Chains A and B, each alone.
Chain A
Amino acid sequence: MLELTASSNENTIETKTKNIEIVFEEENNLSISIGIPSADKLKSSHCASIPIISLQEVCSRDPFNFNDIIVSELSNYKKKYDRFKDSPTFISKFAGLATLTGDLDTAEKILTQRSDNSKNIFLTQSLGNLFILKGDHRKALEVFSNPQLDKDVFSNLKIAYIKAKSNDKASTQKYLDRALAIDPSDYRTRMFSGAMHLNNGECEKAIRDFRVANEQKEDSSALHVNLAAAHWSLGHTKKAIKELNKAIAINPLNENAIIFYSDALFTLNEYDKPIKALEYFSKLDEKSEFVWERLARSYYFSNKYLKAKNALEKQIALCDDPSVWNNLGLVNWKLKDGKKAISYLYHSLDKSKSNPEKSSYPILNLAAILNEIGKHKECISFVDGFNGINSSDVGEDIKIKIYTQLLIALEATNKYEDLTSKIEILIDRRELKSDQSLMLLYIYKIYSDTVIKKSLAETCKSIDLILQLVDRNKKSFDKDDMKLIFNNICFSLIYFDKIKDAESHLHNIINHVHIDPFCTATFGLYKIKNGDLENGRKLYEEAVSLSPKINFKSKIRQRMYLEIGKYHLTMRDSSKAIKFLRQSLKENYGHHYAFDEAKYLLKLIS
């Protein structure tokens, strides 16, 4: 039995990409990070250069009155100024307190008041840090370029940091190398060096750096995220997950680690594993939309739709984005609330009108749902009216899915000519380039060549092309892809009585017989064509019972009666042939082309 693909089950919860931050200095006010692509992008790029609780808000409101305490201490220090103004320790502590209160000017004044201060390396470094805080990189560079630079790791790193900020890679490397030469075991230097290597695509070197850093400091969550990013880039998924587990165990509040962990596991189809970490984080910080949407995605793919809905509602409270409405539409569909689902998807579409990339998801989902509820005509006009499909902003994986929905709708409404011409247009246009998209397109082509055009030559050509795609993508096409491809190839070859040719491919679907209705039906057809009517019919009847939907059941039954009728015709038992051919005509949800074939045969007999 021919099988066409894509229903709303295939659609996915959209998540916004969040870059993984590679932190190479964790100090609060001097943290620097290089944004590198998300887990998904990293993997595909293979290390290319690259009322609500909110913890952040609670912390920013100074819940423990730290500011009062610091101001009070600062006042004490002011009293002691005359007595200790010559002591670098006093100056350092005093400036530190002023900095903590946010009074950077006072801090600068204290640090620069005495010319002797410039002779003290610690005070010099404090002043340099202060200039970085104030955003005055020119002055910071002046301060850090001290005469002791050949033995001062910290100043070299700070200069490297400033150079990195201004994208001066050569100078960054120069100062970083100097810091490494002074102390190759220094934690901060290794973190910085690792981040640079990772940014340059030198993942093995990055791992080496991070490992050295890890020897100095085992309890850094950021370090384990960095190691995970390097491993992930190299395709060491298990190692990456292990490092992310460590990062989250060390700091369950590390949003960067949790998001990376969730995305990494998602690409490995391990949907429920990150739930615990995501739940813990969202319990304490309800203001991370990235965490909410990942939690919703994990729930969704773990079939916990109600929880997914709650998570999305939390996310909507934070950001009224079309993608969230799209996701909410999908979840409501899963909760069998079609009305809400469609209304949310339309709402998402409405909000993303001007953005083809964003509107492509609700289009796809609406098309899938409309097909699923039998509103094929609405689906056709709806997809046809979406001009954005030609936009380069819409990813090819989404484009092919939308086209697939259109083809399903055309097929369901028996618009075979439109279907055939659409496939040909898409192939001619060469708009879809990935093998995955071409594979789906050629499956439709085989379908159209076989049952609509009934052209063996065209079918064989299409089969050759799809087999070439299989050859190229043995690793990337998954089990379901292979089943779909070979079931359609086998059906077409058997349909054209190319039994021997079909037999060379049947082993690819044998494991799906008795499990998958379409493969089971194809085997039924094979048996009938081989003269084993009884077993062929049994397999067809099993396929009917395996099929979850009435219309599919009807289509399989229609094909069964048609093939039994044809069998009796070849056995020259016209009365039995007429009986079964007539039965095939009674299937309400049958294919038109199959009706036509049955009618034609009946006409011939009479």
Chain B
Amino acid sequence: MTTTRDLLISELSKIPTLNNRYTNVNCINYPPPPGEEKRGNFSLVFKAIDNTTGERVAIKFMDPDGTSDVYRIDCFKREPKIIKQLNGKKRCLQLIEELQKFNLEIITASGSKFPMPFEFFSTDWIEDDIDDYFLAKEDLSPIEKLKLFRLIVLAIEAIHNNYIFHRDLKPDNIRSDNKQGTLCAYVIDFGTAAQFDSKKILPGYSAQVGASLYSAPEAFLGFAGERGIAKITDFYALGCILYELFNKQLYFDVLINKNTNFLNTLSVLALELSRETSIENKLSAWETTLEKLKNTVKPPDYLEVGCSLPGSISDLITGLFENLIIFDFNKRLTDFDKIRRIVDTAILVLQNDKLAKKRNDQKRLFKENKIKNIKEKEDKLSSYQTKKGKLLC
């Protein structure tokens, strides 16, 4: 059966221009791979050419079959308004055209015609995804990866500086281009973003906002809707991204498998928060519960098997990661300057062969001494036990 979505996509691919401005309109996120159902996204994204500039643009329609959820529809309508705040700002996605209407002509079985309006807006087309850094990173040097991470930090900082918090950061929502001869990263898809001084779309809406594998714990508990906290959730995602730059597993996968307490703690928090109604009391319950459970939510080790982080910068990057990924948003690192300084230092160490070697030697020596110390203590224990003739127990 042909759905409204199919009809819209087919019509847009057939028409010469969309609203007399956009040509070559092609959907890029539908249909899903064979055997898969369309999931997750509440919008249809098209790639097109803007006839007024000749540049490629991204056009976003609300998926007509996606949802009837008022919150999601309002999010879609809010998205161009949020992106507009970023117009003219460096390292930020630019809005091309605010919310427009496209009237799809529907022909009924009786042959009569009526127009069905669909809303859309358009933004810059950012050419490249950054998947190579995360999915084929064997071919990239640590310096290249850290440089990209630095660009991602700058891109997020740019939107935060304009009081916009993304709340759904993940590698898929970051793209890059090389338009001005230098690589630049941009954050895209502001469907679940929030503006610090904007009102909540639905005051009581406490469902997960932008829940993904990169979502912070508080996002699963409805806190990401709070404007003061929304900003902090982006830093958690940054921590996940940093992990995946050098590790072969998804952070979420490792988190769930290595920290058996993560889900338990999240469930306990959900239970304790559900007993409170006001946000003040919920925040207080969060603090008191985490005070008791703070040790159960330590992140997994960064230096997992398969980690390609050079030893010379492992303490720098591991420290940064641990501060970004802190379970309790109140304690999470949220200082862009500091993050950049650490990344810059790591890049400098890697660029300076002598320094990198020195740090590597120090690490090796430390480990050798540790093993020597362990062996000495073990020998001591063995000789003590031999002296006693038998084990004590």
Contacts and interface: CB of A to CB of B under 8 A. Distances in A.
Contacts of B208: 64-65
Contacts of B292: 252, 280
B22 to A, nearest CB: 24
Contacts of B265: 253
Interface stretch (A163-171, A204-212, A324-332, A580-588): A204-212
B81 interface: no
Nearest to A249: B295
B203 interface: no
A46 B39 contact: no
Contact of B391 (A29, A79, A204, A208): A204
A431 interface: no
Contacts of A29: 257
A38 B379 CA distance: 31
B263 A79 contact: no
Interface string B130-169: 0100111110000000000000000000000000000000
A28 interface: yes
Contact residues of A: prevailing secondary structure: helix
Nearest to A62: B263
B39 A72 contact: yes
B87 to A, nearest CB: 29
A27 B304 CA distance: 13
B210 to A, nearest CB: 10
Contact of A80 (B135, B257, B378): B135
Contact of B211 (A59, A64, A83): A64
Contacts of B266: 63-64
Interface stretch (B103-111, B335-343, B368-376): B368-376
Contacts of B260: 26-28, 31
B378 A203 contact: no
A219 to B, nearest CB: 5
Contacts of A96: 249-250, 253
A90 B306 CA distance: 13
Grouping DSSP codes into helix (H, G, I), strand (E, B) and loop, the B interface class, with mixed when no group exceeds half, is: helix
A88 B138 contact: yes
Interface in A127-185: 154, 183-185
A233 interface: yes
Given A58-B267, A88-B138, A93-B135, A234 B261 contact: no
B256 interface: yes
Interface size class of B (residues with CB under 8 A): 35 or more
A593 interface: no
Interface in B200-236: 208, 211-213, 215, 220
Contacts of A349: none
A201 interface: yes
Nearest to B367: A185
Contact of B385 (A89, A204, A249): A204
A250 B295 contact: yes
A69 B212 contact: yes
A510 interface: no
A246 to B, nearest CB: 10
Contacts of B389: none
B293 interface: yes
B66 to A, nearest CB: 13
B381 A208 contact: yes
B248 interface: yes
B375 to A, nearest CB: 7
A57 to B, nearest CB: 10
Nearest to A86: B136
30 contacts: A26-B258, A28-B257, A28-B258, A30-B257, A53-B271, A55-B268, A71-B39, A75-B32, A87-B138, A89-B134, A90-B136, A93-B248, A97-B253, A122-B305, A183-B371, A184-B371, A184-B374, A184-B378, A185-B374, A203-B392, A204-B385, A205-B391, A208-B378, A212-B374, A250-B296, A251-B261, A251-B296, A252-B293, A253-B265, A253-B268
Interface of B: 32-33, 36, 39-40, 131, 134-138, 172, 208, 211-213, 215, 220, 248-250, 252-253, 256-258, 260-261, 263-268, 270-271, 292-293, 295-296, 298, 305-306, 367, 370-371, 374-375, 377-378, 381, 385, 391-393
Q: Which 3 A-B pairs have the closest CB atoms?
A: A47-B393, A122-B306, A203-B393
Given A73-B212, A250-B296, 5 more contacts: A59-B264, A64-B220, A125-B305, A183-B371, A215-B370
